[in-house]
Amino acid sequence: MSETPLDPLRFEPIYQYRLWGGRRLADVLAAPLPADGPIGEAWILSDREDYPSRVADGPLEGRTIGQLMNQFPEQLLGRLAPRFHSGLHRFPLLLKFLDAREILSVQVHPPDAHAELIPAGETGKTEAWVVLEAGTKSLIYAGLKPGVTEADLRLAVTNGEVADRLASFTPKPGDAVFIPAGTVHALGGGVVVFEVQQNSDVTFRLYDWNHVDAKTGKPRDLQIDQALACVDFGESAGGLVAPVAERTTPVLRESLFHCEQFWVWRLWGDSPFTVGAAGAPRVLVCIEGAGQVEHGGAAYAAGKGDVLLLPAVTGACTFRPRGAVKVLEIAIPE
């Protein structure tokens, strides 16, 4: 195994039941959805013990991303490898597609600084969304209205008036939304998004719209005190962000998110373009159209919904579209 070269790696999606989900991820990914029930999430790159992503094909088929991190740290991570000691650290990002047919719970994730609220082995959770589909009833809540205090928010939870305290907007396809840890947020009403987040599963529910889980017949638990302890009551950086065009040829390359936890660019057009970076890993997610990544004389297909991990040893590659495409390129900050 130590001699196995690391080429671009494709991973199988992991579908997740969510009471607020729907069936629209069937139009986003090629892998068929489970037979029935609402599917709210597709985890497309996950280094979690309970739901590990596995390589879909090639000589490493079936291997988990965690096994690759341990077996090939230098090949996979390049100059970032010293930050991830074998067996101690996971791939730091978790990538998903979300289908929020119904409204999600109003929730908040802790920042890294709130170590007392974060279980052992977890981190804080900053995340961001790229809106893929939305309708007239779609809604995103991100942050508080000006002047809302902890006392205001606690009272609103008791009175069922949380929505009145939150900043909200009607999303449209292409919107980029930043949700730093500490930002109260929710989304729903038939919106489909791509999500990039820290590799953490720590969520505190503040309010759940009186939802009842059809599987249990009971409301889901709330963590009101922990949620309020995490909320950033100052001026939040959360909400809509304006893409920054870095170049326009051979395709448009836009910077969407550039934070401490992740960097994300959107590339779109119909001409071949360069992806990847020398000495550092990159992740590609095709969100519209199709094409192929060319590396070492081989071609790796990338259709809508596909994720490809470009190991550090891969370096820069060519993405050759088949018609117009939109591709997200994601980096771990150095």
CA pair distance 192, 120, nearest whole angstrom: 31
Residue 121 has pLDDT above 90, yes or no: no
- Alpha carbon distance 40, 188 (integer Å): 11
Give the model's pLDDT for residue 211. 84
Query: Strand pairing of 191-198 and 127-133?
Result: antiparallel
Whether residue 148 is found in the same domain as residue 257 = no
Report the share of the chain in percent with pLDDT over 70. Answer: 98
pLDDT bracket for residue 234 (50, 70, 90): confident
Domain boundary among 213, 241, 269: 241
Confidence of residue 1 (pLDDT cuts 50, 70, 90): very low
Domain that holds residue 140: 9-241
Cβ pair 225, 113 in contact under 8 A: no
Q: Residue 256 maps to which CATH number?
A: 2.60.120.10
Q: What is the average per-residue pLDDT within 136-149?
A: 96
pLDDT band, very low/low/confident/very high, at 108 (cuts 50, 70, 90): very high
- Is 272 found in the same domain as 127? no
Structure tokens at 29: 């990914």
Cβ–Cβ under 8 Å, residues 111 and 117:
no
Say yes or no: 89 and 228 in one domain. yes
Same domain assignment for residues 53 and 154: yes
In a domain, 4, yes or no: no
In a domain, 13, yes or no: yes
Stated pTM of the model: 0.95
Q: Of 241, 271, 297, which marks where a domain is finished?
A: 241
Same structural domain, 85 and 214: yes
What pLDDT, on the 0 to 100 scale, is given for residue 85? 65
pLDDT exceeds cutoff 80 at 88: no
Whether 218 is in a domain gets the answer yes
> Is the same domain home to 148 and 249?
no
| 236 confidence band (pLDDT: 50, 70, 90) | confident
More confident residue, 145 or 215: 145
Which residues are annotated as catalytic?
205
Question: Is 100 in the same domain as 205?
Answer: yes
71 and 171 together in one domain: yes
Predicted local distance difference test score (pLDDT) of residue 4 = 67
Residue 227 and residue 179 share a domain: yes
2 occurs within a structural domain: no
* Spatial distance between the Cα atoms of 294 and 8, rounded to a whole number of angstroms: 9
Nearest 10 degrees: CA dihedral of 132, 245, 320, 315?
-110
Angstrom distances, CA of residue 293 to CA of 8, 51, 145, 259, 319: 8, 27, 44, 27, 5
pLDDT of residue 89: 76
Residues 173-220: pLDDT tens digits? 999 999 999 999 999 999 999 999 999 999 999 999 988 887 788 888
Lowest-confidence region among 107-121, 176-190, 210-224, 234-248 = 210-224
**Residue 201 included in any domain:** yes
Choose between 89 and 6: higher pLDDT: 6
On the question of pLDDT at 252 being above 70, the answer is yes
Q: Judge whether 321 lies within some domain.
A: yes
Q: Are residues 111 and 180 in the same domain?
A: yes
Domain count, the chain: 2
Query: Which percentage of the chain shows pLDDT scores above 90?
Result: 86
In a domain, residue 269? The reply is: yes
**Residue 158 located in a structural domain:** yes
Q: Of 200, 217, 241, which one is at a domain's C-terminal end?
A: 241
pLDDT tens-digit profile of 15-60?
Answer: 999 989 999 999 999 999 998 889 999 999 999 999 999 999 999 9
Residue bearing the bigger pLDDT, 79 or 4: 79
User: Position of tokens 């994730």?
Assistant: 109
Q: How far apart, in Å, do the first and last CA atoms of the chain sit?
A: 28
Average pLDDT value for the chain: 94
Same domain, 75 and 90: yes
- Same domain? For 154 and 282 the reply is no
